[in-house]
Amino acid sequence: MAALTEAEVVDLAASSVRDLNQALHAPQPAVSWGVLNPRGAHSVACGLKDEVTVDIAGHVGYYCAGMNQHATVTVHGNAGVGVAENMMSGTVRVRGDASQSAGATAHGGLLVIEGNAAARCGISMKGVDIVVGGNVGHMSAFMGQAGRLVVCGDAGDALGDSLYEARIYVKGTVKSLGADCVEKEMRDEHLTELAELLKAAEFDEDPADFRRYGSARQLYHFKVDNSTAY
Amino acid sequence: MDFASRGLRESATFDRATIHAIQRAAATGVYDIRGWGAKRPLPHFDDLLFLGASMSRYPLEGYRERCDTDVVLGARNAKYPLHLDIPVTIAGMSFGALSANAKEALGRGASAAGTSTTTGDGGMTPEERGQSKHLVYQYLPSRYGMNPDDLREADAIEVVLGQGAKPGGGGMLLGQKITDRVAGMRTLPVGVDQRSACRHPDWTGPDDLTIKIGELREITDWEKPIYVKVGATRTYYDVKLAVHAGADVVVVDGMQGGTAATQEVFIEHVGIPTLAAIPQAVQALRELGVHREVQLIVSGGIRTGADVAKAIALGADAVAIGTAALIALGDNHPRHDAEYRQLGSAAGYFDDFQDGRDPAGISTQDEELAARLDPVEGGRRLANYLRVLTMEAQTLARACGKAHLHHLEPEDLVALTVESAAMARVPLAGTDWIPGAVR
């Protein structure tokens, strides 16, 4: 471990995830890190709280960059369940595809998935911005409370089910909308914020090609007349 | 009015409460939502008795000989386990469901008595962190207010899969309690009827839970004990799975456990009694060889030191109280009777915690009502109550010859009814018969 505090490259073929995370959590960690041979390990680079950059060379398992604060984490591969779950700030980028529940409950920061994201992308999102280069699976943005979800490909079934105030932009098709999620007018301010999100994600898409979806706010209160809507 | 002398006979099937429920449903078209826990009669700790020492056992002298009460929670994996002075903890109750003053009072009372308190859905408030020496941070499906800074500030983490009042159900907080502060903490529109999910958003099943617990340990550098809380249903299996997933402490909440807002039909018809859950949990821990290594906290209907002692005798390491703690703060006090009646209830019956109009200032976000509860005085009352529970439990333990509450054992107990004997797995009083036991 002593060598790790001085080195910026950690080889998970030789070190444990515990060693890596402990070093990243140490007071005043090095600002730039490389992680080799992640081999689908879980909880890689989770709980970071400093402005560090972590480049992971390969695929990761569950909860990579979970609860991230301030750090910039890039996965040069695919990510398992719950990448950047409950992120507070910073940036997490997945060069490949992400499994289900990407960005779940995240409060802030930017999550970019260059490939596809599986089911429940952005579930219960609470302020995070998520930009997906490909498609998202069913129940994405389920119960999304705040933040923006941008999908450059297609969206699966029940998009935005039981949505609160999160905003959704989709370029491709939407297989179906979830309860209380409706298409909304794309006004200038939405085109502007979408352009900013695409730029931040480093995507070249044209905001004019997207449609906007949000909550109809009809299920915000329990009413007997809504009993068949759920 | 003496109905019986007039020859009037109430139906056991359609009693007055049932008739009222049907009439209410017909009038409104919505099901009843209320607080509190199960109100139906259930086999409970009252159905057990201790066998005090006599010829074959030596009692300990009350007020003279020691009967220790401390408990260590979470030493299995955590760098910093909790060491509590008493085995009675405060269960998770949210800021939102409860006022900030109530949460502060719970923290003050628990700290004064040397025990822990617990956050709830909606995150951690500075009031409760500041006043709680030992604070358990609940990790719930909604993740409302969940942030890693608070996680690191906590003394333990409780992954909540369910609660006794509604195993398998999510939560709700009706709009009248979603004030600016509550909404801000939960990232919700003010006044919305808030739903809390019934499943965690980023894991499914026991194998995933193992990975989730691993993540929580990684984020907190393996410092904190990790509890897993389940509502009592298939307790034997749930406890085994929780232990396999890596729990340091398992919390089992029986169906008498309280809630701030749940459908009446859920509260009364889902789950099993606390009495039935404890032996299942203990059996699971014993079979895995971790009884007392993985601690068992039991909640749901703990009211007296006798309940505490009986739960421990059956194999629990500690208990948690929720409803009783609120009563200690002043909930359902007769001094509020006139106001309870204005709300259509009465002292001793009030369970409309969901309405936010609690005259005692506990289950409310109304500033005027909340100000009625002095957190210092409330904390003092709770500390008094916790001390009484502890002394009562010590009294019974000494009578059974035990120098520590944890020395109590099932052999110290008998049951008054066949049902309670079968559930608690102790003999029917005066016999050696445990219904269902294989001889």
Strand A181-184 and strand A211-215: the pairing is antiparallel
Given an 8 Å threshold on Cβ–Cβ distance, is A61 in contact with B208? no
- Residues A181, A149: Cα–Cα separation, whole Å: 13
ipTM: 0.95
Reported as a single tens digit per residue, the pLDDT across B346-366 is 999 999 999 899 999 999 999
Provide the shortest C-alpha distance from residue B379 to chain A (in Å): 33
- Residues B49, B414: Cα–Cα separation, whole Å: 5
Q: Is the minimum CB–CB distance between A140 and chain B shorter than 8 Å? A: no
pLDDT value for B1: 63
Interface test with A, best of B31, B202, B210, B223 (most A CBs within 10 A): B202
What CATH number did the domain enclosing A68 receive?
2.160.20.60
- Residues B166, B37: Cα–Cα separation, whole Å: 9
pLDDT value for A133: 98
Report the share of chain B in percent with pLDDT over 90: 85
Which residues form the domain of A120?
A: 35-218
pLDDT of B199 above 60: yes
Query: Which CATH number does B16-424 carry?
Result: 3.20.20.70
pLDDT value for B130: 92
Buried b or exposed e, range B68-77, using 16+ CB within 10 angstroms: ebebebbbbb
The rounded Cα A132 to chain-centroid distance in angstroms is: 8
Written as six digits, the tokens of A34 are 């490389």
- Residues A34, A15: Cα–Cα separation, whole Å: 13
Cα separations in angstroms, B230 against B233, B238, B254, B290: 8, 7, 9, 18
Buried b or exposed e, range B267-295, using 16+ CB within 10 angstroms: bbebbbbbbbbbbbbbbbbeeeebbeebb
Length of chain B: 439
Domain ranges of chain B: 16-424
Reported as a pLDDT band with limits 50, 70 and 90, residue B324 is: very high
- For each successive 10 residues of chain A (230 residues), what is the average pLDDT? 58 98 95 97 98 97 98 98 98 98 98 98 98 98 97 98 96 97 97 98 98 93 68
End-to-end CA distance of chain A: 52
- Is A168 within the bounds of a domain? yes
- Is A173 within the bounds of a domain? yes
Reported as a pLDDT band with limits 50, 70 and 90, residue B64 is: confident
Q: Where are the alpha helices (DSSP H) in B296-437?
A: 305-313, 323-329, 337-342, 367-370, 375-399, 418-424
In this complex, the residue of B172, B175, B188 whose CB is nearest that of residue A164 is B188
Q: Is the minimum CB–CB distance between A22 and chain B shorter than 8 Å? A: yes
Given an 8 Å threshold on Cβ–Cβ distance, is A42 in contact with B211? yes
pLDDT value for A230: 58
Question: Into how many domains does chain A fold?
Answer: 1
- Is A71 within the bounds of a domain? yes
- Is A225 within the bounds of a domain? no
- Average pLDDT rounded to a whole number, residues B246-255: 98
Residue B158: what are its φ and ψ, rounded to 5°? Answer: -115, 110
Per-chain mean pLDDT for chain B: 95
Cβ contact B337:B347 at 8 Å: yes
pLDDT value for B128: 86
pLDDT of B129 above 70: yes
Reported as a single tens digit per residue, the pLDDT across B268-314 is 999 999 999 999 999 999 999 999 999 999 999 999 999 999 999 99
Reported as a single tens digit per residue, the pLDDT across B208-242 is 999 999 999 999 999 999 999 999 999 999 999 99
Count of CA atoms in the C-beta half-sphere (13 A) of A186: 16
Reported as a single tens digit per residue, the pLDDT across B31-57 is 899 999 999 999 999 999 999 998 988
3-state secondary structure of B193: coil
Residue A25: what are its φ and ψ, rounded to 5°? Answer: -85, -10
In this complex, the residue of B193, B208, B222 whose CB is nearest that of residue A221 is B193
Reported as a single tens digit per residue, the pLDDT across B130-177 is 999 999 999 999 999 999 999 999 999 999 999 999 999 988 787 888
Interface of A with B in 163-222 (CB under 8 A): 164-165, 220-222
pLDDT value for A224: 67
- Is A7 within the bounds of a domain? no
Q: Chain B: residue nearest A100 by CA?
A: B202
- Residues B332, B359: Cα–Cα separation, whole Å: 9
